[in-house]
Amino acid sequence: MNFDVCNGDADGLCAVVQWRLNDPQEARLITGLKRDIELLERVQAVRGDTLLVCDISMQRNLQPLLRLLSLGVSVRYFDHHQVDELPVHPLLASHLDFAGNTCTSLLMNQHLGGKFQGWALVGAYGDNLAGVADDLAVAMGLSLDERQRLKSLGEAINYNAYGDTTRDVFIRPEHLYEKLVSYADPLHFLASEPVAQELQVLKTKDLNHAQAVAPYFEDAHVRIFVWPDAPWSRRVSGSYSNAMAAAQPRHAHALLRRTPAGDFLVSVRAPLFFPVGAADFCRRFGGDGRSGAAGIDHLPSDQLLNFVAAFTSCAWGSLPAEVRHG
């Protein structure tokens, strides 16, 4: 039996879409919302089964991964999140790259020789790698209008992955995947399926709520936002974090959203001009992620001032002169 496991955001879904367009075998998809990271715990595989894993932290899934390998399950792992120690096993094929200018969809695109590069662009745009995606799209000969449409699609898919439960989102990621994988070309998907436009309408409404919230703190190097717990804030946090990072690429950004329990869920974006340090910073508070973007699933409310002090004193602004002024 085949299992496909991925994050339910644009990068994860688009990576699996590429794989299954190339190898259209029946597989059971296991996915979830953006913060559903420890997905390998849900895999009930046996000896001889095959497992494709895309865009979920190996660090957070190490023990269930080792369990599955010990059972005789073959695993292909594509990811760009940092891992402290890469396991070595004859049944494990790892395709990992922790650079700040790549994502899982781009790693899959490289592995498949660019066969479904349109979907790799959608994943990259959704993962806030617009510059990298634009360069690839221009090399493909795509027009400005086509690039903008793919960018909007990636951002809409990514927006749909944010929420505390599937009741928050417009369409469950696994149902969205079934629509995506029916099209070899994402531009054909856009011409045939209304879901992207429907997501864009809802996203715009949520962004209007977000833009009415003033920063909690800002200076020459960082901006910090604190949001209430609300359906709009649960859905739009990722989109707004990416938009803030793009609007002020020399700033680091932190978005803290209150949860029903009264603590905070945190998204961190390193400056786009020098996208490093986000994962290392979040690990200081029990979080994780990748170099340019990371998060904290649970920040106690009494740690807010400590978080702000650490974030503002972090060396986000201490970039090489050629990066700061280039």
Task: Identify which of 148, 150, 168 has the alpha carbon closest to the alpha carbon of residue 159.
Answer: 168
pLDDT value at 325 more than 90:
no
Q: Which residues contact 80 (CB under 8 A, 6 or more apart)?
A: 55, 96, 97, 98, 99, 102, 103, 104, 107, 290
Q: What is the mean pLDDT of residues 250-273?
A: 94
Q: Which amino acid is at 135?
A: D
Report which of 128, 57, 162, 148 is spatially closest to residue 275, judged by C-alpha positions. Answer: 128
Task: Tell me the pLDDT band of 326, cut-offs 50, 70 and 90.
Answer: very low
Alpha carbon distance 204, 188 (integer Å): 23
Residue 28: strand, helix, or coil = strand
Q: What is the DSSP letter of 2?
A: E
Number of neighbouring beta carbons within 10 Å of residue 91: 16
Q: Which of 99, 92, 96, 101 is nearest to 79 (CA)?
A: 96
Indicate whether 320 pLDDT > 50.
no
Q: Are 45 and 64 in contact (CB under 8 A)?
A: no
| Mean confidence (pLDDT) of the chain | 93
Distance, CA of 273 to CA of 48 (rounded, Å): 45
Q: Does pLDDT of 319 surpass 80? A: no
Position 246 scores a pLDDT of: 87
Mean pLDDT of 292-319: 89
Q: Are 45 and 70 in contact (CB under 8 A)?
A: no
Q: How far apart are CA 107 and CA 125, in angstroms?
A: 14
Task: Find where tokens 């910073």 sit.
Answer: 281
Could you tell me what percent of the chain has a pLDDT over 70?
A: 97
Q: Do residues 215 and 223 lie in contact, with contact meaning Cβ atoms separated by under 8 Å?
A: yes
pLDDT above 90: percentage of residues in the chain = 84
Per-residue CA distances from 268 to 88, 241, 287 (Å): 31, 8, 10
Whether this model's pTM surpasses 0.75: yes
Question: What pLDDT, on a 0 to 100 scale, did the predictor assign at position 318?
Answer: 56
Please tell me the distance from the alpha carbon of residue 84 to that of residue 241, in angstroms, as a whole number. 26
> Can you give the pLDDT at residue 317?
53
Instruction: Tell me the domains of the chain and their CATH numbers.
Output: 2-200 (3.90.1640), 213-324 (3.10.310.30)
Confidence band of 322 (pLDDT split at 50, 70, 90) = very low
- Label residue 231 by pLDDT band (50, 70, 90): very high
CA 280 to chain centre: 17
Report the alpha-carbon distance of residue 182 to residue 176 in Å, rounded. 10
Q: What is the pLDDT of residue 323?
A: 35
Q: Which two tokens stand for residue 41?
A: 């715990």
Q: Does residue 278 have a pLDDT over 80? A: yes
Burial class (CB in 10 A: 0-12, 13-18, 19+), 117: buried
Identify which of 61, 158, 28, 148 has the alpha carbon closest to the alpha carbon of residue 103.
Answer: 158
**Structure-token pair, residue 228:** 């209430």
Over residues 95-144, the pLDDT tens digits come to 999 888 999 999 999 999 999 999 999 999 999 899 999 999 999 999 99
